[in-house]
Amino acid sequence: MSRVLNERIESIEKIAKSIYRMTVKSEYISANARPGQFANVKCSEGINALLRRPISICDVDKDRGTFDIVFQIKGIGTEYLSQKRVGSEVDLIGPLGSPFHISEEYKRIAVVGGGIGIFPLLYLLKEMKEADKSAFLGFRSSDYVVMTEEFESASDRLSISTDDGSMGYKGIITDLLAEDIADRGFDIIYTCGPMPMIRKVKDMAQKAGIKCQVSLEQRMGCGIGACLVCACKTGKPDNWEYSHVCKDGPVFWSDEVVLDD
Amino acid sequence: MTEKNIDLSVDIAGLKLENPVIGASGTFGFGREFADYMDLNRIGGISVKGLTLEKRQGNKPPRIAETPAGILNSVGLQNPGVKAFIENEIPFLRKFSTKIIANIAGNTIEDYCSMAEQLSDADIDAIELNVSCPNVKKGCVAFGNSTAGISEITGKVKKYCKKPLIVKLTPNVTDVKEIAVAAEDAGADAISLINTILGMAIDIHRKRPILANNVGGLSGPAVKPIAVRMVYEVASVVKIPVIGMGGISSGEDAVEFMLAGASAVMVGTANFINPTACVDVVEGIKNYLKMYNHSSVYEIIGKLQLN
């Protein structure tokens, strides 16, 4: 169950161009959050940036009772959030949404992240302690490459691509995934990032007969399933209905969502 | 004055509320979405998500855009349909003392009449006629933006409606007073207002509207002064009770509407930001009454003195 919480900010750090990492002290979230879930964060005090911002939980330290979120400044909400001070409180609701499906049956897993979509995958990798883990991370350019050391230590092998070739493989990350699907094979692929990438991963997994979970993004209102704005199609291409990313997702099985919009 | 001496109850044309705070339609789901965060017994009523005769999928996303001190939405009445509501949602809501208001919308007058008939036999407490949704292509606001339209639909639905009938008005008209009077004359038991104000927000980088539907309804603190003015105007020309809404997020906001003439208030957009907003508004009203030694909400309803 999620709760409305006022929690203390332990640290806030700029980790790349316009990208910030915030560590928040929260016994409740650290004890209850599962990989793939998010917190809905009130970024401002007043009536500007009125809505909360859904931000996925990137890391949890159960011993210290903290969790981390990483966000990119995209508008006034995240701008306000980046200006919060260590020691002050942040108003948030969490943990929210459906988590990634984790099972001991998944012996060989791949996570495929693009841009700011990589963050929920770190906590997932850390929680899947027994599996053999391949991480594929794609970025626009080296300016935006973040947290590679943590992904490296949380996985058995890490592949990086940039669109401009300024770091790692030049091209799209799914090229690297394609090679490994053929060579290694996976029991499950988890993906989060830009829609074209998610679509491609979904197709590749389907063709290879590999289970796949996708974490989707949509403009949200309440985050708790009441306002119905964050619609996404579930079902089959010719027989779908609108479900909602905040409550039914953000994580879905790739074969239950229709990604044609 | 002790707290137990403050009477928060109101009677809206036979709809008896323990307190004057109602979760506004479209912002409070079917109540269950908020049950993790608050005790639903603590609010006067819930106006459920707008119902249609058949299940609807609603509009394409994006369905929301944040604007200064407000939001634009174009959900487009996504709902499971009136039958599913009766079967699946009423039993849950009835576990609480909060009153159930069924908000109904349709393409045709016949749709509205059929729903009013079905809901009159269901275990609900009032019907809110939504003739003001700006986000659907057919019906709805087309009935609500003229005196002739509102008169016809209110009169016809009234014949099938055995529950108190609340008519919810759109602010997207030149003179809301004449619309309200037409609804009253046609048999409305109460008026609620305002629905959202039609608006548009543009993504200048893509040179396109943010909402897939291009336009949507504006709500939140940004609309409050417009809503207060309209509630005042309507309350001064009708004799039936008025339920006020538009940007209420605190007890103080609610008191403004009540002084302007609202017998009860609906809390909408604030629920999205703060899931306990309705309860906070109840407490805020109580604190205000205490501060000024009032023993009943009726001591402030319509008690505005103009300058």
Mutate to test the interface with A, among B272, B278, B279, B280 (most CBs of A within 10 A): B272
Question: If DSSP codes are grouped into helix, strand and coil, which group holds residue A133?
Answer: strand
Do the Cβ atoms of B71 and A221 come within 8 Å?
Answer: yes
Nearest residue on chain A to B55, judged by CA atoms? A241
Q: Which residues of B are part of a known binding site for substrate?
A: 49, 73-77, 130, 195-196
Dihedral sign, CA of B103, B108, B112, B118? negative
Do the Cβ atoms of B272 and A222 come within 8 Å?
Answer: yes
* Per-residue pLDDT at B133: 76
Q: Which of A48, A224, A232 sits opposite B69 (nearest CB)?
A: A48
Q: What is the pLDDT of residues A189-223, one digit of tens each?
A: 999 999 999 999 999 999 999 999 999 999 999 99
Query: What pLDDT band is residue B4 in, cutting at 50, 70 and 90?
Result: low
Do the Cβ atoms of A231 and B63 come within 8 Å?
Answer: yes
* Per-residue pLDDT at B134: 73
In chain A, beta strands by DSSP E: 3-16, 19-25, 38-41, 53-61, 66-72, 89-96, 108-114, 132-139, 157-162, 169-170, 188-192, 211-215, 231-236, 239-244, 251-253, 257-258
Mean pLDDT in residue range A21-26? 98
In terms of Cα–Cα distance, which of A30, A47, A53 is closest to A126? A30
Do the Cβ atoms of A227 and B220 come within 8 Å?
Answer: no
Q: CA torsion, points A96, B85, B61, A90, in degrees to nearest 10?
A: -30
First and final CA of chain A: distance in angstroms? 31
Nearest chain B CA: its distance from A146 CA (Å): 26
Active site residue B133: yes
Query: What pLDDT band is residue B5 in, cutting at 50, 70 and 90?
Result: confident
Q: Check whether the bond before B68 is cis (ω within 30° of 0).
A: no
List the domains of chain B with CATH numbers.
8-58+75-196+218-297 (3.20.20.70)
Write out the two tokens for B277: 């907003």
The 8-class DSSP code of residue A67 comes to E
List the domains of chain A with CATH numbers.
3-94 (2.40.30.10), 108-217 (3.40.50.80), 218-261 (2.10.240.10)
Nearest chain A CA: its distance from B160 CA (Å): 30
Which residues of chain A lie closer than 8 angstroms to B26, CB-CB?
227
Q: What is the pLDDT of residues A124-160, one digit of tens each?
A: 999 998 999 999 999 999 999 999 999 999 999 999 9
Nearest residue on chain A to B271, judged by CA atoms? A222
Mutate to test the interface with B, among A5, A42, A44, A50 (most CBs of B within 10 A): A50
The secondary element (H helix, E strand) that includes residue A178 is: helix A173-183
Question: If DSSP codes are grouped into helix, strand and coil, which group holds residue A91?
Answer: strand
Q: Give one word for A218, left, alpha or beta, with left for phi > 0 and alpha for psi -120 to 50.
A: beta
* Per-residue pLDDT at A184: 79
Q: Which burial class, exposed, middle or buried, applies to A36 when counting CB atoms under 10 A from its CB (0-12, 13-18, 19+)?
A: buried
First and final CA of chain B: distance in angstroms? 30
| Helical axes B176-185 vs B224-235, angle rounded to 10° | 50
Under 8 Å between Cβ of A195 and A201: no
Q: Check whether the bond before B285 is cis (ω within 30° of 0).
A: no
Judge whether A36 is annotated as a binding position.
no
The 8-class DSSP code of residue B88 comes to I
* Per-residue pLDDT at B132: 81
Query: What pLDDT band is residue B254 in, cutting at 50, 70 and 90?
Result: very high
Q: How far apart are CA B96 and CA B102, in angstroms?
A: 16
pLDDT at residue B1 is higher than 60: no
Q: Is B81 at the interface with chain A, CB within 8 A?
A: no
The secondary element (H helix, E strand) that includes residue B267 is: strand B264-267
Q: Which of B64, B275, B276 sits opposite A229 (nearest CB)?
A: B64
pLDDT at residue B3 is higher than 60: no
Q: Is B75 at the interface with chain A, CB within 8 A?
A: yes
Beta partners for residue A252, in sequence order: A214
Total-model pTM: 0.94
Under 8 Å between Cβ of A137 and A148: yes
Query: What pLDDT band is residue A117 in, cutting at 50, 70 and 90?
Result: very high
Q: What is the pLDDT of residues B125-182, one digit of tens each?
A: 999 999 987 777 677 778 889 999 999 999 999 999 999 999 999 999 999 999 999 9
